[in-house]
Amino acid sequence: MRIGIGYDVHKLVEGRKLIVGGVEIKHEKGLLGHSDADVLIHAIMDSILGALNLGDIGKLFPDTDEAYKDIDSKILLGKIYEIMVDEGYEIGNLDSVIAAERPKFKGYIESMKNIISDILVTDVENISIKATTTEKLGFVGREEGISAEAVVILKKRG
């Protein structure tokens, strides 16, 4: 059994779609990044890579590589899934939290869980996603960005 943690943050800007957990969220701003800047999926990918002791997503998918410009992070998570399987592991469980003052994520979490569980080929009950605010403190509280953290337990396959 292996455990890994991941953390990601992206700046909120005008003129971008807000994609979190593979779901497009209605909001006046979106997250800035080389890819689609899906902060939750990036944290999940880093947690899996950490559990496998394989570095981070910047090592595998550098923001200097035009192949990843505006790429859908769900595609990258699929690649991480393939690496995880090649290493002989599967998801035991995954717990995550999104920190944002706005928008509210309550109506989107079930869709996020379904998308992520499908990509990681695991039961939706193995995926936990929560959302919180920072009570108006820090960059999240000032609505300058959104952050996400994830913890994963991987277990040997079969």
Residue 119 is assigned to a ligand binding site: no
What's the distance, Cα to Cα, between the start and end of the chain in Å?
Answer: 12
DSSP for residue 34: S
Residue 9 is assigned to a ligand binding site: yes
Residue 63 is assigned to a ligand binding site: yes
Residue 101 is assigned to a ligand binding site: no
Residue 134 is assigned to a ligand binding site: yes
Residue 71 is assigned to a ligand binding site: no
Cβ pair 94, 125 in contact under 8 A: no
What's the CA gap between 64 and 132, in Å, rounded?
A: 32
Residue 36 is assigned to a ligand binding site: no
Residue 105 is assigned to a ligand binding site: no
Residue 103 is assigned to a ligand binding site: no
What's the CA gap between 154 and 66, in Å, rounded?
A: 31
Residues linked to residue 23 through DSSP beta bridges, in sequence order = 20
Residue 135 is assigned to a ligand binding site: yes
Binding-site residue positions: 8-10, 34-35, 42, 56-58, 61-65, 132-135, 139, 142
Binding-site residue positions for a divalent metal cation: 8, 10, 42
